[in-house]
Amino acid sequence: MLKRPAAQPVKRLTGRDSVRQLVLCVVALGGMAAAGRAFAQTATGQAGQQAATQDPSQAPKIPPVTTTVVVHGETKDDYAPSTIEAGSLGGQPMSLRETPLSISVATRALINDQQARVLADVVKNDASIGEDYAPVGYYGDFAIRGFPVDLATGIEIDGMTVAGEQDVPFENKQRVEFLKGIAGVETGVASAGGVINYVTKPALTVRAMDLATDHRGSSYGAADLGQLFGKEPGTGVRLNLALESMHPYVESTDGWRGVGAADGEWKIDEATTLKTDFEYQHRVQRSVSGYQLLGGTIVPAHRSPGVMLGDQPWSKPNTFDVFNAGARLDRALSPGWNVHVAGSYSHSLIDDNVIWPYGAALDASGNSRCADSPYYFFCPDGSYEIYDYRSPGELRINATGEALVSGSLRTGAITHHVAGGGSLFHRMVDLSPTIVYAPIGVENVYKPNLAVDPESPYQHAGPSTLADFDIQSAGMLQDRAQLAAGVELIAGARATRVSDFNYTKARVLWLPQYAATYTPPWVGSATHLLTFYANYGTLLSLGPQAPWWVDNAILFLRPFMTREAEAGAKYEHGFVATADWFRMREPFFYPKVIQKADSFCTSNLAFGGSVAPGDLCFESEGHETHDGFEMNVQGKTARWMQLSASAAAIHAVSSGTGTPAFDDKQVINVPRLRMTMFADIAAPRWHGLHLMPGWGYTSRKEATRDDRVSVGGYNIFNLGARYAPGGENGRVTVRLYADNILNKRYWKDTGASYGDTFIHPGAPTTVRLSAHYTF
């Protein structure tokens, strides 16, 4: 991986001319509002039927769709989701208020208004989620509640795990769901912070296109074509095609990508439905490297975010070829009981190339020019070595299958909603054991981009071979028991067997999860609007890999457990407001100074020989405990305003580490406070015009484990506008949006928490223009 180039041979795991012409689009949204409301009501009705035990004859009838309705495809412009899939065993739709977990959602309306293209554009709407190494031109790593997301298991499409080493395209996505915290029954072995789930668009009749540009000359075009077959909804297909020429703010990182996606739905009979999805993306782009601390103790003076360290005109770009495919068959067995079988296949192939700035500058003999500083940081004077890094044929494949039965039954006055079944997960990683990682010269952060020649003789990486193979099989069972007076108790568990290429012995674990909800009958009128909840769960995560410069270099540590307790409240009334408190605890991993061999380092694998006093060993000792308070608001808070707002205060400290300087210190890259807000405000006396202000605040973040070095906090202000002459019933929507309007310079993240650490500058002002047309 790009993050840790020296560890790759082993196992697993910018301005330019102004825009001369602004593209005018004519786009149609005829019937969008009415069709959107019909779709939302239909989805809510279906979820209610699955959760209730009433007579099917009493269920509300959905009016037939007549042939005069041409466009169904876009739901109303709404920042509050009607239903969600994350946090529900089997992916059955539920309302956000009913789910006893902390979940936020970026709806299609929010994605459109912010003109998001990659996940990094979306996660800024949730204060509990931050970047954890997401450079321009590469796939992103993210952290939820301060815990890095495991890309092997933490990214899903329609509830099925995909290879996370990709930027999943948004063109065929209806929304992105962020499950924060542990949901072990649904996700199994994963990272502790949570799961990110992309939900594909439904199969509907739609004809739409999008054109977009920005002030640096990027260009984008997309088509959204869907067709229902027959008078009744349930069978149809939807195609999404896109082509983009990218001109990012960082010099020499121009690139392009193409996307094709097909999603279908087939109502085989009254009881059986088949849904399928397929997407392919090809992307070519050079990627940006991060900075390191100078001598391990100094944050570099702010440089222009458009500067690319290690820029050499002869270096190759990255090439990404990714496809994801899935299918799900649902069948009603009898009134109140259903079964579904689902499978997915995800394939990510990367030709990984970069001129990599890393560590201390080297002299002609290959020795550090700043011997008194750590060799895995830049030198105190700002100098560093650049390496020609090439790792072709990086292949990661995730294959997932599951079968679940769900239904309702009664035992006296208690109604049980039961779900159970099994799942199977395979992950394979192929990497070259002989990648190219050749030192080619010295640069300085204050004088970068000195021309150098490629290494001589020019090196070539060897063929890829198996580097990791992981198999997980599991049985799941969950009972949601509805008691009297608005009380619901949830108990579930997952028995998981894990067999991994990097471990000699398979492990079988029991992962329980418990929750309770209470909906006071005296709140609201015909609909209960307030819900209190609490949950407790445990989760197994795969151990991290040691960096190359410690005695146990590139080895993987054992899997570890995380435990969580959470309590909160959710209120729904045209919008959804949530507040919760959580505590999560897991082992603390870090490079420790040791005086003799121990169970983690029995010998010096990095440089050979035995362990010597003062050596570094990457190991687990003590714990890190994350206590946090979160608040989120999504939806229409007034007749004239929609809001997406979030706040998170997280106290994440390490304890019992065996290194006193690290005890009771805030964990790297976890801000103590983050807040974000984005609003859609209808302009008075101007029909169809909406103003869209945004703001985000992030407090300082630690860059070293002893908290002696940190990067400063910052405020970012954004501003946009959306104009639809015909309102929701019109055909044209034009959006203008500017990020960071004050052109603030800041460090957006302080890198990975495991092994090497990096810091990355944030993006300068970026102005985007788009037009949407429905015909």
- Per the CB < 8 A criterion, the answer to whether 318 and 300 are in contact is no
Please report the beta strands in 639-660, taking only residues with DSSP state E, as ranges in sequence order. 641-655
Please check the confidence at residue 662 and state whether its pLDDT lies above 50: yes
Residues 6 or more apart in contact with residue 602 via CB below 8 angstroms? 611
Please check the confidence at residue 25 and state whether its pLDDT lies above 70: no
Q: Identify which has the larger pLDDT, 482 or 76.
A: 482
pLDDT score of 33: 32
How many structural domains compose the chain? 1
pLDDT score of 38: 36
pLDDT score of 697: 98
Confidence of residue 212 (pLDDT cuts 50, 70, 90): very high
Mean pLDDT of 392-420: 94
Mean pLDDT of 294-319: 93
Least confident among 102-116, 282-296, 520-534, 570-584: 520-534
Residues 6 or more apart in contact with residue 686 via CB below 8 angstroms? none
Highest-confidence range of 14-18, 522-526, 580-584, by mean pLDDT? 580-584
Mean pLDDT of 379-396: 96
Rg (CA), the chain: 26
Confidence of residue 64 (pLDDT cuts 50, 70, 90): very low
Residue with tokens 């689902």: 342
> For residues 308 and 14, what is the distance between their CA atoms, to the nearest angstrom?
9
Q: How far is CA 762 from the centre of its chain?
A: 18
Q: Which of 190, 194, 202, 135 is nearest to 167 (CA)?
A: 135
Confidence of residue 311 (pLDDT cuts 50, 70, 90): very high
> For residues 225 and 261, what is the distance between their CA atoms, to the nearest angstrom?
10
Please provide the average confidence, as pLDDT, over all residues in the chain.
87
- Per the CB < 8 A criterion, the answer to whether 196 and 149 are in contact is yes
Confidence of residue 730 (pLDDT cuts 50, 70, 90): confident
Q: Which of 449, 340, 336 is nearest to 386 (CA)?
A: 449
> For residues 695 and 565, what is the distance between their CA atoms, to the nearest angstrom?
30
pLDDT score of 547: 86
**pLDDT tens per residue across span 507-524:** 788 889 999 999 988 765
Please check the confidence at residue 390 and state whether its pLDDT lies above 80: yes
Burial of residue 597, with CB atoms counted within 10 A of its CB: 0-12 exposed, 13-18 middle, 19 or more buried: middle
Q: Taking the chain, what is the end-to-end CA distance rounded to the nearest angstrom?
A: 44
Please check the confidence at residue 243 and state whether its pLDDT lies above 70: yes
Check residue 50 and give left, alpha or beta (phi > 0: left; psi -120 to 50: alpha): alpha
Burial of residue 328, with CB atoms counted within 10 A of its CB: 0-12 exposed, 13-18 middle, 19 or more buried: buried
Mean pLDDT of 364-375: 92
Q: How many residues belong to the chain?
A: 775
pLDDT score of 191: 84
**pLDDT tens per residue across span 334-354:** 888 999 999 999 999 999 999
Q: Which domain holds residue 67?
A: 5-774
Residue with tokens 């459109």: 112
Please check the confidence at residue 36 and state whether its pLDDT lies above 70: no
Least confident among 38-47, 425-434, 442-451, 641-650: 38-47
- Per the CB < 8 A criterion, the answer to whether 13 and 551 are in contact is no
The three-state (H, E, C) secondary structure of 200-251, written as one string: ECCCCCEEEEEEEEECCCCEEEEEEEEEECCCCCCCEEEEEEEEEEECCCCC
Q: Which two tokens stand for residue 254?
A: 């121009």
φ and ψ at 710, to 5 degrees?
Answer: -145, 165
Confidence of residue 76 (pLDDT cuts 50, 70, 90): low
CATH value at residue 289: 2.40.170.20
Residue with tokens 């435990």: 563
Burial of residue 673, with CB atoms counted within 10 A of its CB: 0-12 exposed, 13-18 middle, 19 or more buried: middle
Residues 6 or more apart in contact with residue 647 via CB below 8 angstroms? 127, 630, 631, 632, 673, 674, 675, 676
- Per the CB < 8 A criterion, the answer to whether 720 and 681 are in contact is no
- Per the CB < 8 A criterion, the answer to whether 118 and 167 are in contact is yes
